[in-house]
Every structure is written in structure tokens, then in C-alpha cells.
Amino acid sequence: MSDWTRHVIWWHVYPLGFTGAEPTAAAAPPRPVSRLRALEPWLDYLLDLGCNGLALGPVFASRSHGYDTTDHFRVDPRLGTEDDLRWLFDTCRARGVHVLLDGVFNHVGRDFPQFRDVLEHGPSSRCANWFDLDPSAGGPDGFGYRDFEGHHELVALNHGEPEVLDHITSVMNHWLDAGASGWRLDAAYAVPPPALRAVADAVHAAHPDAWLVGEVIHGDYPSFVAEGGLDSVTQYELWKAVWSALNDRNLFELGWALERHDALLTDFAPLTFVGNHDVTRLASRLSEPDLVGHALAVLFGVGGVPSVYYGDEQAFRGVKEDRAGGDDAVRPAFPATPDELAPHGRPVFQTHQELIGVRRRNSWLARARTTVDHLTNEQIAFTSRGGEGEDVTVLLNIAEQEQRFPGAGGEVLAASRPSGDPLLVPARSWRVLRAPR
């Protein structure tokens, strides 16, 4: 684990949505629009929130949503030019902000140059080995091909082809040379681990401090990390358990997930989150939105590398739907400046600030080990411990009445509601303690 990742907290932005870009490249103006520079007023906001990392969604040329890449070396004209992206790297670096890029390397769009050559020349194309083609399938193209999870516009790459792996490695090193600190590897779960390992090893050889995190939704997380040569994966298990346990008033589910999460910390620090660009927003997912603070106390009270999805810190709502355009509600445009945000989101923003502040003052939490100390359907207490006697205890009470937790008490580091007794947690409240030494 690179030293800087022990301290980083990401603010995750989907740039095409955030900047109000056109939904398709065909609808865009003929010349690039420097929308990436619209992020500048938000960098101080990011820091004010307590974050020090900017995790960007796709910024490279594509037909539509960014995950149908057509050129990994070209910035999407709807967002600007390479100069604009390099400017963003420099501007972030001047503020001490790391930048994480989103690499879509499992599949490409149909306008990807190598696939255009296949469309022109068929299976005899010099680029045919870049893809898994089926000449016998027929269809409008005259052949079939493996796509990504049934999305015909997303052409799966053949990761057994050395030229493909060389291309991916070149792309990643190019933008790391330009100033990025790491990569999120989209749909890493669909890439064969030996291919991931070949690329990751080559990239780490050139950039030892680069952080490579794979998008893995379910499965054997430690194996993806070990066999794929990655530094981390996305912690969807914990994400699901947080909102599900709160909704069902079944904190045993959370307790089970925390035990699973603790085991991961033996080998690596997962990317933790309670919202991202692919899921319904937390404030909409929770049946009782006043429990948002409970979810955040978990996020910032356990080991891992935390990420905050833009707008969640303002209690934005949005439901992901399984249809064309179904992601739009969770990928909205932001105003030009933070001053234009609605005031009703301020309390949730302040809760984020308070808990991120605890996390920043206790950076050892990135590799903390967690044990569950007390557990019922509606109460849970867990303690995260570092290697030199550090410890932080989180108390969650989702019942309609106050609850006194067992234990020795300690200093209150953060709380949703005050009480004189640190172990007496009011109804539907949370608090974070440092146990007495």
C-alpha cells in the first residue's frame, strides 16, 4: 500500500454529468469545450469537505456515457482537450489533491479505431485478434463478437492478445506520466486475472506509487487482488450491508459484513463507499434518510480507502433504473460554484466534515482491524484498532429509544446528538469514541 493512500479520501465525480455535457458526442459542438476547467471552483469545496483526492469518472473520448471509449489517448471533446486535463492535474497537485482516473479496459465502443478496421475489413482485419469474433454469426456486421454483458455497443477486448495488453499498459503509463496518481479499472471482474497481473506489474514497474483499484462487485476479493496484481478492489459487500441492515433494522447483517471486511484488511485496504455513479443514492436507498449519519459513521470508522460520491454530501437523491438513461438521475449536473448549492444539504455536509475530520486525524484507520463488541437488531458497537494502541469505537443506535452500551466509555470524537454519558446513545443516533488508555 503506497504511503499516500493511507491518507487519501476521495471525492468521486462523474465529469460528463457534473459539467452538464451533452449526452452523446454526436450532439456536441464541433470543437472541444473546456468543461474540465469548471471543476476549479470545486477543488476548494473538496478540501473544505475534508477530502484530498479527486476520483474522476471517464474523461476519454466516447460516443455517449464514457464507458464506450473510442480513444484512450484523447480527452472527450465534450470535456476539453489534453491541455485541459493536464491543467487539472497541475491545479490539483498545487492543492495537494491526488487524481484517480477511470480506465475502461475490458471493452471499447464501436468507434474504437481497431474495431472500425474490423468493421471495414471483417474477420480478415489486421486488428481481428483484438476482439473475440464469431464469423459464423452473421448479423448486420457480417460477423458476431463478444460484448460486455449483452450491451452490443460495448465490444469486449481479447485480453489474450499481447497487443491489447501493450495498449492498456501504454495508456495507463501515459496518463500517470501526465500527473494522475492511480487508476480505477472498470469491470475488472470481467478481465482474466493473468491479464490484469501482466498490466499491473508493468505499470507498477514504471510507477511504483500508482494505486490500481479494480471494480469488483462480488466474488473472492483477495484473489482478485493477489492474482491480478492490484492494490485494491471496490467493497460492494460492505456497501450493500450498510443500507440493507439499516433498512431492515437487522444490524446482524452489518456485523457479519464487518467481520468479512476485517478479514480483507489482512492483505489490502479496499475502496469503501456508500454511494457511487452506478447505484441509487444513499438518501434515496435508505427507507429512513435520517440514518445517513449512521452509514457515514461506518464508512469512516473502518479500515479502507473511503470515497464520497459527489452530491451525497449534500443529501442529493436519485434512483438508478434499469433502462436507457437510467443512470441520469444519479449523475446530475452541479452548479457553477458551491455558493449555488441549496442550503438544505448543509447539515449532511457538516456531518461528512465531522466524520472525515476524525478520519483525517486518525489516518491509521486505513489499515485498521475491526471487531464487533456489541450486537442486537438495533444496536451495534464496533472497534477499529491500529498497530500502536490506537483505537476508535463506533456506536450505532437505530431504535426509537436511547440505549446505554456496555464498555468503559471514552472521549467523544463525533456524535449526532450529545449526551453526558458517552455510552448513552440517544434514539436513532450514533457516536464515535476514543476508548480510555
**Residues 237, 257 contacting (CB under 8 angstroms):** yes
Rounded Cα gap, residues 349 and 330, in angstroms: 18
Cell numbers for 48:
473544505
Rounded Cα gap, residues 65 and 407, in angstroms: 50
- Note the pTM of the prediction, 2 decimals: 0.97
Q: What is the pLDDT of residue 436?
A: 66
- Domain annotation covers residue 31: yes
Write the pLDDT tens digit of every residue in 383-414.
Answer: 999 977 789 999 999 999 999 999 988 999 99
The percent of residues in the chain predicted with pLDDT above 90, rounded, is: 95
3-state secondary structure of 66: coil
Range of the domain at 76: 3-367
- Domain annotation covers residue 379: no
**For residues 131-149, average pLDDT:** 95
Kindly report the backbone phi and psi dihedral angles of residue 433, in degrees, each rounded to the nearest multiple of 5, phi listed first: -120, 155
**Residues 254, 298 contacting (CB under 8 angstroms):** yes
CA angle 182, 264, 330 (to 5 degrees): 55
- Per the structure, how many domains does the chain have? 1
Task: Tell me the CATH number at 232.
Answer: 3.20.20.80
Please provide the average confidence, as pLDDT, over all residues in the chain.
97
Give the pLDDT band (50/70/90) at residue 107.
very high
- Domain annotation covers residue 353: yes
- Domain annotation covers residue 398: no
Write the pLDDT tens digit of every residue in 61-82.
Answer: 999 999 999 999 999 999 999 9
- Domain annotation covers residue 377: no
- Domain annotation covers residue 415: no
- Domain annotation covers residue 130: yes
Q: What is the pLDDT of residue 419?
A: 84
- Domain annotation covers residue 295: yes
Q: Does 322 score more than 70 pLDDT?
A: yes
